[in-house]
Amino acid sequence: MAGNDRTNVYQDITDSIIADLERGCVPWAQPWDSKAATAPFTIPCNASTRRQYSGINVLTLWAAVTKRKFTGHSWLTFRQALAAGGCVRKGEHCVTVVYADRFTPDAERQRARETGEVAASIPFLKRFTLFNADQCEGLSADPAAALPPPEAIVPAANAVIAATGAVIRVGGGEAFYHPGLDYVQVPPVQAYFEPINWFRTVFHELGHHTGHASRLNRDQSGVFGSSAYAREELVAEMAGAFVCATLGVTPTVRHADYLDSWLAVLRADNRAIVRAASAASKAADHILQRRQAEAQSEAA
């Protein structure tokens, strides 16, 4: 993708997110806060490959489900719908998402071979289009549509928290992550009007926890009010939302008072939201992976 087109992709995504934030709609929470929501709480996935989408595409597809009132989070390309024995209904409008990767030009590979240096890769973005399963006909029932029973959510969330191995101190009246001492502090569950908010808070703070140098090694040096601080809060907000949605917990905004600082970051850097969403997906995977590995071992 040409440089100008890459810039346009970033700008288009950023403009859309800024417009939502300016309306008071937070993309990683608004789908679940809306009383008009018609879809279950889950991460969007491809109906053909069963792979979950990640990063900025999660926000894009969540927004599309909410605005168009789709009943599920399964998506396909036009060709995948045909291969599955169905088709996209005439007149349906697609949703544009992006694929990010890096490639190394042949000339750079040759230069690296001649000099013995490491070949430099170039980032690229590719647009592609998806249709929700609701926009198709002739498809078989979606096996991913089933939700975990409500009584299973809290035990599953507790198991994920325990599997992270994070030091979590319960007590006091504030929730925070201490990067220097590497621990999470949260008030007791009794301090929350809704007990499920305790889990939302813990997963937000565990999002910060993943940024420690011994884990995903993000910049956590920012002080309150700084751009670096706002960027890290964006990552933790989305990471917590992604984990919650995976477990069937309704994502909500944990720090809405940072809205102005998030807008300032996005207006100054049209790649900030894409980078933050990518980091958030990696953080969510890090939080979930140990419990997922344990569950696979138990099932074996």
CA–CA separation, 66 vs 44, rounded Å? Answer: 12
pLDDT at 5: 54
**Class of residue 125 by CB neighbours under 10 A (exposed 0-12, middle 13-18, buried 19+):** middle
State the angle between helix axes of 56-68 and 272-299 in degrees (0 to 180), rounded to the nearest 10: 90
pLDDT at 267: 96
Token pair recorded at residue 271 = 């790649």
Centroid of chain to Cα 14: 15
- Contacts with 214 (C-beta within 8 Å, 6 or more apart), sequence order: 182
CA–CA separation, 50 vs 42, rounded Å? Answer: 13
Angle among Cα 51, 269, 95 to the nearest 5 degrees reads 35
pLDDT at 25: 84
CA–CA separation, 41 vs 136, rounded Å? Answer: 21
pLDDT at 147: 67
Residue pair 207/237 in contact by the 8 Å Cβ criterion: yes
Q: Which residues pair with 142 in a beta bridge?
A: none
Residue 170 φ then ψ, to 5°: -105, 125
pLDDT averaged over 10-residue windows placed end to end, the chain, 300 residues: 62 93 84 59 91 95 91 94 94 92 85 88 85 92 64 93 97 95 97 93 97 96 91 96 92 80 94 95 96 79
